[in-house]
Amino acid sequence: NNTGQFDSAFKVNYCTYGCNYAVNLYAEHIIDSIQDPTSPWLVADSLSNTSLQLKWDSANNDRITYLIQWKYQDIASLWTYYQMPKPLNETSIIISDLHPYMTYLFRVVWVVTVKHTFPSPASFPITTLPSGVPSQSPSVIELTSPSHSTIYVSWKELDFTNGPLIHYRVSIIDVLAEQHTQFIKDISPNLLTYTFTSLKSQTLYEIHLSAGNADGQGPITLINMTTMSPPNGK
Question: Which tens digits make up the pLDDT trace of 188-230?
Answer: 999 999 999 999 999 999 999 999 999 999 999 999 999 999 8
Residues with Cβ within 8 Å of residue 234, at least 6 apart in sequence: none
Confidence label for 4 from pLDDT (cuts 50, 70 and 90): low
Q: Answer whether 206's CB lies under 8 Å from 224's CB.
A: yes
Contacts (Cβ under 8 Å, ≥6 apart) of 145: 151, 152, 225, 226, 227, 228
Q: Predicted confidence band at 7 (pLDDT cuts at 50, 70, 90)?
A: low
